[in-house]
Chains A and B, each alone.
Chain A
Amino acid sequence: MSLFISDVKHVSPVEEKKAQNRVMRLKQAVQDAKPGICTERAVIWTAYHKDGTNRRKPVCVQMAEALRNVLLQKTIAIYPDELIVGNFSSKRVGGSIFPELHGVPVLMDIFKFSKRKTNPLQVSGREIATLLKIVPFWMFRFLALKAYKNPLKKIALALHQLKGHFYVINESGGISHIAPDYETLITIGTEGIREKACRTQEKFKKSTAQWEFLEGVKIVCDALSAFGRRYARLAHDMAVSEPDADRKEELLTIAHVCERVPQKGASTLQEALQSIFLAQIAINLESLDNAVSPGRMDQYLYPFYKKDIEDGRLTHLEAKERIAAFSIKMAEIIPVFSDYLTRVHGGMFNGQVITVGGVDREGNDCVNPLTSIFLEVMDELRMRQPNYHARIASVSGTDYLKKINDTLALGSGSPALYNDDVIIDTMTSHGYSVADARDYTAVGCVEPVSQGKSFASTDAALFNMPVVLEMALNQGKKFGSVMRSGTRTKPASEMTSMADVKNAFEAQLAFQIKKMIGDLRAIETANMSHHPTPLTSMLLDGCVEKGVCSTKGGARYNFSGIQCVAPADTGDALYAIEKAVFTDRKMSLFDLVGHLQKNLEDPRMMVYLKGIPKFGNDMAEVDKWTVYVVEQFITQLSLFENTRGGKYVAGLYSVTVHDHFGRVTGALSHGRRKGESFSSGISPVNGMDKEGPTALINSVNRIDSRKIANGINFNLKFDAHTLKGETGKKALQSILNTYFKKGGMQVQVNVIDPAMLIAARDNPDLYPNLLVRVSGYSSYFNDLTPEMKEEIIRRSTICI
């Protein structure tokens, strides 16, 4: 019998209804809550660092103690109906400020947060005053300013970061992007980890870096245990005055659970979920609150589920209820983005990923009843967070595949799908052991890492590819600029072949990548010396064993992921040059560049260039240019190593930064005027894939995804009509199967009814909870900028 059709004991409809009602009430409460900014972390962190005696302590201890203070002093709350407790912020849905990281630049927007149209965040006058008070202390202390000693370089980097013309470095806001080793946490608890740290510490002398790091780990372990006990006490107190007998019982259970975890290993599913959620909060408070991904929950939770069921402690329905409650809690955690960061990173997205299915460490199909529960919870809740991803292996069972396919055909937009064969291959060829590669999960948007073992900084930086071509055509300057921001290459008038164009392009690319890596390594070093992360590190295999922080390369696997943004725009622009100038000889390159400098003001010229075939239509001679761009990026990136001893690897996804890069890049030869958005991820230039999904897949598969170790984001969009009925479902299944068989790495399926989107744009109140996939993640439509909304609407009206 298939394991997937779960061994559900019969539950009474009354019980089922009760569970559903609770879940729906929890969801409602979270969705109704107005997202806000919480000042607590910033205030407590600042108070700690203002104390001069603290600043003289080893930096690992500083970080651990500051985090301890946050966990012990922040407001805690248990909300009605909750089974899994823990509040990230003082608001039901809220975000924190990290003044020592990117907090100061974020605070420049402080007066705008509550009034802005996109993602307004509640912040009261009193809170604003509180936050303003801490700015002076951090003004010259935040991380980006610590990257360079030389004040000129300091300013250059700060300015560059603000404008983000060529690349955007994210590590200046902290690193994160991990799939913590929650399996260890729920097996041995913080006390077990503490013990390990003590054992390693004995090997080192006091005041060695290792000793200090492990001291930090011990402090954090204790803090996390105490954080749990705070909830135990609160639950207990609430139980005393709770009139409702059922709720009283629940509160006492919560008290009992939090008394034990996260300090001890979990003994039940509820304890495991509780332990993980408290750790999830703490990690999000330690450094960058982004892409902290629980990962393969259906795998490491399964033993707990199984035991609970076998011991008769829990029904399938109760398990699902608890998992739903956990899932909803994850949506309470949001990032605080300034307007600029919103443009770069899109709607209130913090990339917490849950991955289900696929193969286990031995390569066997590991789908289990929990897999099914997670997929149902995902589909029934349809909330912005977490992101659900499903792994597809050649050994995956048909029940599992069918369940996913049917969910997608009905337009859930999730889960995103990952091809085990390709990803495991890619990871092993980049240095992972086979077993660790098989144990991968995505973090953030689409980036594969080994659960609990990788410190892969998968969103270290995003690189603007098309601007490199702009520079290549203009001797290293942006159009209209007198300043040379690239390297000097041949003027267009002297380029007589595509080889010349390629030479200039490659030279500009080398220049810009080298510059980015320089900045990035400076920031890496700043993180290493000023913002170590003992908590994150203790949940990554290798750090405690070696006594080395993850920011220093303590984890077993180290990488930095850099995104190649808008390869299709760049490839199409190159093809257009080849065709218009060198094949069809419609004009000289000099003339073409003249048109670009004038922003294609002649509509005939623009229309002509737009009409030249584009990537995504299964035309080898066109697609080869996008392949060229991607390969150039990978090759040049591979020349460098990060300060943690890891490789820089390429990713092909862009969240929403393609829109931002589009705004700051001049006109390009594929008929795009200055300022227009670029295409997202690996997608063709907007609306130019005219031959349908089969042709699009053939084009995309020309890029060798096995070289894209940081993951790709491939969107397949269908209008609802196409996927209707059995014919539609079958077609979708065939499309996905073929894509994967042909070596596709990742895909997400969007089903869009444009009428609904237009209605939602014109009347935001009509569909407050309309979810759309943006780039590897879901966002509420209302959370998007007007431009992004237009983009999503436009995408959806192009029928495939």
Chain B
Amino acid sequence: MNGNKGQPAIIFDIQRFSLHDGPGIRTTVFLKGCPLSCAWCQNPESISRDPEMAFYKESCLGCFECKLVCPKNAIMDSEEKRVRHEVCDACGKCANVCVSRGLRRIGERWGREKLIQTLLKDEAFFEESGGGITFSGGEPMLQHHFLYDVLPYLKEKGLHINIETSGMFRWERMERMLPFFDLIYFDLKHMDRSLHKTYTGVDNRLILENFLKLSRSFENLQARMPVIPGINDDVENIMKTAQYLIHANSRTIHLLPYHPLGESKLLRIHSSLRALNINPHQPEDLERIEGLFKKEGIDVVIYQ
């Protein structure tokens, strides 16, 4: 198919029976690696492209078998932290001997065939429910070679395919894959260029440009917005977002309310992110935001 055929993907999770990543019952594939590092990230373990080690101290039995096998001497005695990430190369030897899954490797290599086999396990459920496969991440487009390799096969099988993207990709890479997608979920995080950079680490120009291009060449483009208290929920940003959507001829937005669950994962891995320590929105806040969008003529779907 192309030159990169056979190159495995790095996947950090596969969730069957997903109900909120597109229509029907879906299997969601979480691809590892993201060019953004949003302050509110729900999957901080998805940011780095490479496999990494996570320590679940609740599961640890304190037997230190892990220490015995580590070739890099990267295991620490501390109860809170186990891995010296500066030296660890995520070889996974420690996780292999850890019976209690106190140490786990996040991010495994998946070959094309094995992934396809796993995805097809729920084919009957997809068919019955009008569901399918969703590629999420991280930013799935970072592994575009792999996607380009599996998508034609999944498409041929008649599966409904959705991709959840941050919009940070080179256009040509997306363009050649458009025929395989049935739906694209596209996150718009902030309209202000510098605030976007502050909170996500990248400038929003390419993202907005890609959204416009997609809106012209792809039918089922769905904008989504993580709404973060005090960061992007102000009137100005909402209005700007709404106007931008109208400009792009998009009439609906899905709002993903902030919740702090992802932050509890930060302690388990090595991450530069810090917990935001803010309170989630109250229902009435979300209603207010919904009202603002509606006033501009944008329909809103709020995820629970």
Contact = CB atoms under 8 A, between A and B. Distances in A.
B128 A741 contact: yes
A616 to B, nearest CB: 13
A741 B123 CA distance: 13
A721 B17 CA distance: 14
A334 B77 CA distance: 59
Contact of A734 (B16, B25, B100, B304): B25
B99 A731 contact: no
A196 interface: no
Q: How extensive is the interface on chain A, given as a class?
A: 20 to 34
A307 interface: no
A453 B124 CA distance: 37
16 contacts: A604-B100, A607-B99, A692-B15, A692-B16, A694-B16, A694-B17, A695-B17, A695-B121, A727-B20, A730-B129, A731-B17, A731-B24, A734-B125, A734-B129, A735-B25, A735-B125
A694 B125 contact: yes
Contacts of B125: 694, 734-735, 738
B91 interface: no
Interface in A655-704: 691-695, 698
B99 A722 contact: no
A572 interface: no
B87 interface: no
B108 interface: no
Given A611-B99, A738-B129, 4 more contacts: A695-B17, A698-B122, A727-B20, A735-B129
A140 interface: no
Interface in B95-138: 99-101, 121-122, 124-125, 128-129, 131
B16 A691 contact: yes
Central interface residue in A618, A691, A727, A734, by most chain B CB within 10 Å: A734
Interface string B196-219: 000000000000000000000000
Interface in A737-765: 737-738, 741-742
A731 B19 contact: yes
Contacts of B25: 694, 731, 734-735
B63 interface: yes
B122 A694 contact: yes
Interface string A596-622: 000000011001100100000010000
Contact of A737 (B16, B20, B128, B131): B128
Contacts, number: 63
A738 B129 CA distance: 9
B124 A738 contact: yes
Central interface residue in B20, B61, B63, B122, by most chain A CB within 10 Å: B122
A397 B25 CA distance: 23
A83 B63 CA distance: 69
B110 to A, nearest CB: 16
A491 interface: no
B17 A724 contact: no
A711 B206 CA distance: 60
B19 A727 contact: yes
A600 to B, nearest CB: 12
Interface string B39-64: 00000000000000000000001010
A58 interface: no
Given A724-B304, A731-B129, A604 B16 contact: no
A698 B17 CA distance: 12
Contacts of A731: 17, 19, 24-25, 129
A603 B61 contact: yes
Interface of A: 603-604, 607-608, 611, 618, 691-695, 698, 721-722, 724-725, 727-728, 730-731, 734-735, 737-738, 741-742, 800
B16 A608 contact: no
B94 to A, nearest CB: 15
B101 A611 contact: yes
B17 A800 contact: yes
A584 to B, nearest CB: 11
A10 B42 CA distance: 54
B129 A611 contact: no
A405 to B, nearest CB: 13
Nearest to B101: A611
Nearest to A617: B16
B215 to A, nearest CB: 26
A169 B131 CA distance: 47
Contacts of B129: 730-731, 734-735, 738
A86 B167 CA distance: 72
A548 B61 CA distance: 66
Contacts of A742: 124
Contacts of B61: 603-604, 607
Central interface residue in A695, A724, A731, by most chain B CB within 10 Å: A731
Contacts of A692: 15-17
Given A734-B128, A735-B25, A604 B17 contact: no
A604 B121 contact: no
A405 B24 CA distance: 16
A734 B24 contact: yes
Contact of B99 (A604, A725, A734, A741): A604
Contacts of B24: 730-731, 734
A607 B100 contact: yes
A608 B99 contact: yes
A741 B19 contact: no
Contacts of B65: 604
A369 to B, nearest CB: 29
A619 to B, nearest CB: 10
Contacts of A691: 16
Contacts of A693: 17
A272 B4 CA distance: 75
B124 A695 contact: no
A404 B124 CA distance: 22
Contacts of A698: 121-122
B17 A728 contact: no
Nearest to A723: B19
B112 to A, nearest CB: 20
A611 B15 CA distance: 19
Contact of B124 (A603, A727, A741): A741
Given A691-B16, A693-B17, A721 B124 contact: no
Nearest to A731: B19
Contacts of A738: 124-125, 128-129
Given A603-B61, A721-B304, A728 B128 contact: no
Contacts of B128: 734, 737-738, 741
A735 B124 CA distance: 10
A725 B20 CA distance: 12
B93 to A, nearest CB: 15
Closest 8 A/B residue pairs (Cβ): A734-B129, A692-B17, A608-B99, A734-B128, A738-B128, A607-B99, A607-B100, A694-B122
Nearest to A698: B121
Nearest to A734: B129
Nearest to B124: A738
A421 to B, nearest CB: 16
Contacts of A725: 304
Contacts of B131: 734
Nearest to A724: B304
Interface string B1-38: 00000000000000111011000110000000000000
Contacts of B304: 721, 724-725
B124 A604 contact: no
B21 to A, nearest CB: 11
A694 B19 CA distance: 12
A742 B128 CA distance: 11
A611 B100 contact: yes
Interface in B270-294: none
Nearest to B127: A738
Nearest to B121: A618
A734 B25 CA distance: 8
A712 B20 CA distance: 32
A624 to B, nearest CB: 16
A28 B222 CA distance: 52
Central interface residue in A607, A693, A694, A724, by most chain B CB within 10 Å: A694
